[in-house]
Amino acid sequence: MIRNKITLRIIAAVMVLAMVSSVTACSSKKPKSTTASTSSKPTEITTTTTTTEATTSLTEYSGPLPSNDVNKTWDESKLDAETIMYCTVSAGEFLNVRKGPNSEQPRVGKLSRGQAVKVVAKTSNGWYKTFDGFYVSGEYLSANSPS
């Protein structure tokens, strides 16, 4: 009789350890509470698991950037409203942010794939002016976030 109780306690303890190990392995967070009883009464286990929903947020392009003191030699049309555009370069690539609307202008920053940028105007050669007065090529911007 005593031997059977000891055996049951050992089995119960092994089961508790196995369940706690599997819950810990399956969860990125530890369980909030795990209660185990190893008395002669039946074993009671309470496990609470917290799940978190993954979210993705895009950061808006922002400085600090040097002042844009380039003399304007191009035409641009102001957009009706500030618009959020998304960088669509290939994965691992960057879109240069420049002082003026062509690739010969000095680079002042970079955008990565999917990064959002506020644009306020478009030039006649297809570049967009950002809210802070710099330029990015419209060839690599889209109104929709790349998948």
Tens of pLDDT, residue by residue over 110-142, are: 999 999 999 999 999 999 999 999 999 999 999
Q: Give, in order, the Cα–Cα distances in Å from 29 to each of 21, 22, 97, 103.
A: 12, 12, 40, 48
Domain count for the chain, please give it: 2
List, for residues 39-58, the tens digit of each pLDDT value.
556 666 666 655 544 443 34
Residue 11, H or E segment: helix 2-26
- The pLDDT of residue 20 is above 70: no
Backbone angles phi, psi at 68, to 5 degrees: -95, 90
Q: Could you tell me the residue range of the domain that residue 25 belongs to?
A: 2-47
CB neighbourhood size of 10 (10 A): 11
Predicted local confidence at residue 3, as pLDDT: 65
Question: Which one is predicted more confidently, 147 or 66?
Answer: 147
Predicted local confidence at residue 1, as pLDDT: 62
In a domain, 89, yes or no: yes
Domain end marker among 28, 47, 66: 47
List, as one string, the DSSP characters of 97-111. Answer: EESSSSTTSPEEEEE
In a domain, 25, yes or no: yes
State how far the Cα of 43 lies from the Cα of 89, in Å rounded to an integer: 58
Predicted local confidence at residue 91, as pLDDT: 86
List, for residues 70-116, the tens digit of each pLDDT value.
677 788 889 999 999 999 999 889 999 999 999 999 999 999 999 99
Instruction: Tell me: do 85 and 128 sit in the same domain.
Output: yes
Predicted local confidence at residue 103, as pLDDT: 93
